[in-house]
Structure 1
Amino acid sequence: MGGPVARSTGSVPFDADRDVPGLIVKFGDYPLHHGGVGAIRSLGRLGIPMYAMTEDRYTPAAASRYLRRAFVWPTTGTEEPERLVEGLLRIGHLIGRPAVLIPTDEEAAVLIAEHQEALADRGRFLFPRVDAKLPRRLASKQGLHELCVEHGIPSPAAAFPQSYDDIVRFAEKARFPLVAKNREAFVRRSRPAVNGTTRIATREGLLTLARDWGDHPGVILQEYLPREEAEDWIVHAYFDADSTPLAMFTGVKVRSWPPHAGMTANAYVVDNPELADLAARFIKQIGFSGVIDLDLRFDRRDGQYKLLDFNPRMGAQFRLFENESGVDVVRAMHLDLTGRTVPEGEQRAGHRYIVENIDLPALLAYRRSGYTTPHAPARASGTELAWLAGDDLRPFFTMLARFVRPGAKHLYQLWRTNRRGGTNSSTAK
């Protein structure tokens, strides 16, 4: 059964190609992903048919009124790439016409880049063409650091130990505290060395942790940028085949979860031409094409914006950003890949984005630490909620049901089974 006829929630001065659908591509088990829901809504409101890969039939994405069809395909990210490509091609066959691929994680972005020819064969899928090796290198902490050094882009000082003995030698000269991160960003690592970003206060603490990292520690040991002397900034953009920005946005991260090191929970749009120029110059130098999500930290001690993370795909909080013409990075990509002009316009300065299920614990944690974010406006010019939307309520309630499981999940499934209408699901194995 097809979904409802999509309607726009606001006037946009452009006409999207409604004959070319979009497909949300995700690998791994993370059903509460607001970015995918945002992309479904963003294009769906323009009347573009939307499809998505989902873990099961009861994810927020599958519940969206703007989703034409959910392809239930549980994955872990550890599958052989050939199997994932085959599954994608089967989904393309079921869709029955060329579709724009919208990756929501590094695994998906890397897979698409490394198997471009197979996925683009006979026009099955549309996506930005890029050097096949570049997304994997950008998603790697070591690869990104090396690219920053090569092109003169500031980044935190870092070391990449190859053995425990390397760590012992590093610890003798290191300045503490420092930060340890997994060298590769992919969730497919079966036994990550550390759980996310880990602050290490002393030499003894480092050596104790390192004993569990094995003979070949897959970590990066990075300079710690104290939050008291830093500001967290984000850049979202879409670059065309010539690495020219067709949509570029900058903002300030107010809160994240886990605190100071995790996913954006609250952010504002703040104009920052210097940061936009830095990002555009780097993208031009490396020749990237597509959507980007960058995390940078401004170090007040030396006045530099230091690049921390480069996500070569749509960021979960991309709906924070939209220009005066109604263009966000996902809309810009769809317009460009379908031969449409991407309208220009200033970004909505002062606009705020809130992820409801993680911003409350983040707020409490930040208040306890006494940390405040410079440059965040005292009052928002408007607010975009990650989950709650008046024209698409089901994803919000689905999120709540899964967020407070198991009791609420069971009640939701009973309600979902008996509710009227719904989205179709099929299995792509």
Structure 2
Amino acid sequence: MDWLQLHPLSLYQGAAFPFALLFNYLCSMDSFSIHARYLFLLTGGHLLALAAMGSYAVLVFIPALCAVVLIYTLSPQEVHRCTFFFQMSWQTLCHLGLHYTEYYLQEAPSMRFCITLSSLMLLTQRVTSLSLDICERKVEAVSRDIRIKSSLSQQLHEALPYFSYLLFFPALLGGPLCSFKRFQAHVQGSSSLHPRYSFWSLTWRALQILGLECLKVALRRVVSAGAGLRNCQQLECIYVMWSTAGLFKLTYYSHWLLDDSLLHAAGFGSELGQSPGEEGYIPDADIWTLETTHRISLFTRKWNQSTARWLRRLIFQHGRAWPLLQTFAFSAWWHGLHPGQVFGFFCWAMMVEADYLIHTFANLFIRTWPVRLLYRTLTWAHTQLIIAYIMVAVEVRSLSSLWLLCNSYNSVFPMVYCVLLFLLARRKHKFN
């Protein structure tokens, strides 16, 4: 998701906030039936999609409809493979349309189309999460015999939870991934047990968002007043890269907190519907860990946490050879395969692999606390600079900007980890 898209997305998320509070309030009333709850979420999703995307909303409605059709027509063993192939093919075609506009026509893409692509990426998460749940028997799909005997109205009634899950408005434009079982348990929960939003919790999130927005305004002035990657010289380029990446991170943090607040306002941030052994609700933004960790691998797990868990379940756990590289390669595909994304995610995979080896060997040889403190301080600074390098690489759109980044002093930081990866991998091989 391009950080430039996040500002209009935040406006639409903010506009949906009163409807999320209304939904949570209605769910506490016995007269608000389960069928009406599903319809409210689905109707809200359609209206929000039309408001944010305009005519491009059809690019989201079509794959959602096709996903439900595939779920109803295929066996549990086949549904994940087919829905995954269709959803990623559809999303890739839409991303190719963006490539055609940006790189061939040399035109700025429509903001509504960019928002549509962002929503499609989130829809892919929900579609594949649901299909995996069905394939793994965590969610029971309607049997074929029952489907054949059911009338059209009954089939539509049975398909309503799936449609509502794929298009429910609190998660249409952002937010941590919510599993279908958690979604269904919340919607079907008793009104007496239905979680209500916490006023103080939402107020605290609002204050955090306000603080991040103030920091973002101040940092944007610093970035705009200074030299860019084209005009910076030598060590100045390091400061330019760090401040630019800081602006990207503040934008993401603010948007993730708003998404999290919207889900909480609608009641989907509770532990209702959590199965035994299932990880609880985790927001995408763990700002303290992200800004204080000295390990790239931990940063990777905590950055956009629900997406990281989804990638781990979808790709990493099923990868037979080089699962880490497969995961980052798929992430680049899911994001759109822009040149900066391909380079950035490949670099990220190398850095995570190096991080594991570096800290494993360091823990063997560093014993005294002063040396360990010095080691943590240096690796923290190095981690932050490497992450800044990757983030700027992923966010830049033109090959010329990517070349300027790679040809600057900033490339020293990932190169140090690449050299250490090569040396430590050889040493590990000798030990084995």
TM-score norm. by structure 1 comes to: 0.27
**Larger % of strand: which?**
1
Between structure 1 and structure 2, the one with the greater Rg is 2
